[in-house]
Amino acid sequence: MPPADAPDTAQERRDALKRVYARTQSCTRCPELASTRKSVVFGSGNADADLMFVGEAPGANEDEQGVPFVGQAGKLLDKLLGEIDLVRADVFVLNVLKCRPPNNRDPLPLEIENCKDYLYEQVSLIEPKVICTLGNFATKLLRDDTTGITKLHGQPELLALGRRMVRLYPIFHPAAALYTPRMLQTLRDDFVRLPDLLAMPAPEQPEWLNPPEPEEQPDAEPGLDAQDAASEADQLGLF
Ligand code: URA
């Protein structure tokens, strides 16, 4: 049961997602990333998707365009989606970090910590049935455990994330499969199981996961107000 004051309809959840979008656009929780980024890459796709993909962090192309997975790894992701009859607009794609780490260095623990509330809010509002973590960073963060992707890939598990129970499905990061045919085959083998996972009933949402809705965060100042954010997200065609 969702809390009484939770956004209810898909449209209300999408509007609430735009308010989260607005807050991320002026985020300065990580001063280094805030001063080096060109864009805050919120995520894109279907705001009511059953399937969500969580990558690591934007790279140079994503930082430039403000959209996740638009480089080579993104092209592979699109190809694999096509092989199971899905397109980007069917799913929601986002990253553990919303800002590009300089020179594509690894995300720092504090940066992951600073950014993770946004991810949980996105999960709460989009309500995916299945979350596919791409590679080690996303898998370790969401499972809150150091077990690596080599051990875990292709094994679905039920997991409480923020305020939602989801089916987590760790798979290799497409960037890792770009130049390693054996890894690409493993990624493909894991990918083809997605339709069966999506056909399973949505995980039950236990009451203990739904404490009263927290106060919605005010817009950060200076920042986009919710109206500007709504039009910006629409103009960019993000979700
Ligand atoms: N790799 C990621 O993890 N995320 C992107 O958005 C692009 C490449």
Cα Rg, the chain, nearest whole Å = 17
Q: Is 68 in the pocket of ligand 1 (CB under 6 A)?
A: yes
pLDDT digits (tens, 9 = 90+) for 158-207: 999 988 999 999 999 999 999 999 999 999 999 999 999 999 999 999 98
What would the 3-class secondary structure string for the chain be?
CCCCCCCCCHHHHHHHHHHHHHHHHCCCCCHHHHHHCCCCCCCEECCCCCEEEEECCCCHHHHHHCCCCCCHHHHHHHHHHHHCCCCHHHCEEEECCCCCCHHHCCCCHHHHHHHHHHHHHHHHHHCCCEEEEECHHHHHHHHCCCCCHHHHCCCCEEEEECCEEEEEEEECCHHHHCCCHHHHHHHHHHHCCHHHHHHCCCCCCCHHHCCCCCCCCCCCCCCCCHHHHHHHHHHCCCC
pLDDT lower than 50: segments of the chain: none
Domain ranges of the chain: 10-198
Phi/psi at 44 (5° precision): -155, 160
Q: Which CATH architecture has domain 10-198?
A: 3-Layer(aba) Sandwich (3.40)
Contacts of 104 (CB under 8 A, 6+ apart): 57, 59, 60
* pLDDT for position 211: 67
* pLDDT for position 184: 97
Q: Which of 38, 44, 61, 62 is the best mutation target for the ligand 1 pocket, counting ligand atoms within 8 Å of the beta carbon and taking the most? A: 62
Beta strand pairing call for 92-95 and 157-161:
unpaired
* pLDDT for position 188: 98
Q: Is 95 in the pocket of ligand 1 (CB under 6 A)?
A: yes
Give the separation between CA 121 and CA 102, rounded to whole angstroms: 25
* Four-CA torsion 144, 213, 44, 180, nearest 10 degrees: 10
Query: Is there a cis peptide before residue 156, judged by omega within 30 degrees of 0?
Result: no
Atom number, ligand 1, closest to the C-alpha of residue 137: 3
* pLDDT for position 172: 98
Asked whether the beta carbons of 22 and 222 are under 8 A apart, the reply is no
Give the separation between CA 6 and CA 44, rounded to whole angstroms: 22
Q: Is 73 in the pocket of ligand 1 (CB under 6 A)?
A: yes
